[in-house]
Amino acid sequence: EMETATDCQACEGSLYRIDAGGTFAAAAKCECATPCSRCGGAGIVVSFDGDSSFAEPCECAALERRIRLYNEACLPSKFANKWIEDLDDRDHTQKEAKYALLSHQDSFEQSGRGFLLWGKPGVGKTHLLCGLVGYLTLEIVFSARYVYFIHFLYYFNKSYS
């Protein structure tokens, strides 16, 4: 398992940090993450069972996978480090949407279904979805992708031409 200084100011013990430079938010391994003492940072350990040996992924490889999934999610950089809990719910509708997504996050099960939120500009739709996608990729280790609806329609239409 990776070793870390739990008092790290940059990552607060998560072993990754999220930066908002560029078009998309980008996660990277924090400098406090030291190479794994089990595999030496290779991500693979060799185990022996009697006369045979086999390689298996080390537990530390999960951090690299979580970071990769987050970066592949293409979250807009403006929403780096935005989480569902952080949304300032100013009215009943925002509060309802926030707690519906928090409930989904807390009891997540893969279903093949997505989310579509609609509303006026500036009410928190992007914030909520980016928070959910960030959580799914970094904490649940589930592949998810943020796509602007207009881009989805473009690619959907292009697939039929």
What number is the average pLDDT over the span 47-76? 91
The mean pLDDT of 149-161, rounded to a whole number, is: 87
18 within 8 A of 80, measured Cβ to Cβ:
yes
Q: Average model confidence (pLDDT) for the chain?
A: 88
Exposure of 31 in the CB half-sphere (CA atoms within 13 A)? 3
Interacting residues of 46 by C-beta distance below 8 A, sequence separation 6+: 53, 54, 55
Reported confidence tier of residue 117, pLDDT bands at 50, 70, 90: confident
Confidence grade of residue 5 (pLDDT, cut at 50, 70, 90): low
Tokens of 149: 């609806």
CB 143 within 8 A of CB 112: no
Q: What is the mean pLDDT of residues 103-110?
A: 85
| Strand extents, DSSP E, 58-158 | none
Q: 6 falls in which pLDDT band (50, 70, 90)?
A: low
Is the model's pLDDT at 4 over the cut of 70? no
pTM listed for this prediction: 0.81
Q: Above 70 in pLDDT, residue 2? A: no
Task: Report the number of secondary-structure helices (H) and strands (E) in the chain.
Answer: 4, 4
